[in-house]
Amino acid sequence: MRLHLATVFATILTTSAFAQSRTEQIVTVGPWEIKTTYRADKFDSCTMTRNANELGVTFARTPEGLLLLLESPKWKLERGRAYPVLLAAGPESIDAKALAESKAVTITLADSPFNRKLSSASVLEVRGEGATLRVPLDGSRAALDRLEVCYEKNTRENVATNPFVAPSRKP
């Protein structure tokens, strides 16, 4: 699981001609930029991205669910370490792990009831031991809906290319 998260994280953060051999489709929804990510000319994920106060924020919709990627050029993190965090959206909160790279973390948002609260909250707080990061969620309702449409559309397109293989979907 960690290896897959690191792979998805690296795919989203790095740009190469190989990874972008297909034309990227970018849609802007409020402050969010939504795009389709391909790897080796095959659909990988849909992402929604924005910058807020020197914090890069990306939500990625993958077959495993929703991931939150946070990055800052100021951070000096211990690569591979899993930092405990508390995520709070309005009155709802969940415990999670932030898997670190040198200047970024990936957080798996596996709890779908909590994920639904993201679209109605104005801020997502990521509470670590040293500080609380405030991720603005303005415009996230429409952007998260569009992110899901992007994922569903591209997943269906993969099925259309081979009707004899069921899509690998995990709730």
Cα 9–Cα 11–Cα 15 angle in degrees, nearest 5: 125
Domain boundaries, the chain: 2-161
The pLDDT assigned to 168 comes to 44
Question: pLDDT by residue (tens digit) across 57-93?
Answer: 999 999 889 999 999 999 999 999 999 999 999 899 9
The pLDDT assigned to 23 comes to 55
Positions of the chain with pLDDT lower than 50, given as ranges: 3, 5, 7, 10-11, 13-21, 168-171
CATH superfamily of 2-161: Invasion associated locus B (IalB) protein (2.60.40.1880)
| pTM score of the predicted model | 0.78
The pLDDT assigned to 169 comes to 38
The pLDDT assigned to 43 comes to 85
The size of the chain, in residues, is 171
Q: Which residue in this structure is represented by tokens 């994922």?
A: 151
Q: Measuring CA to CA, how many Å separate 115 from each of 35, 77, 89, 104?
A: 20, 26, 9, 21
The pLDDT assigned to 119 comes to 86
- One-letter amino acid for residue 103 of the chain: K
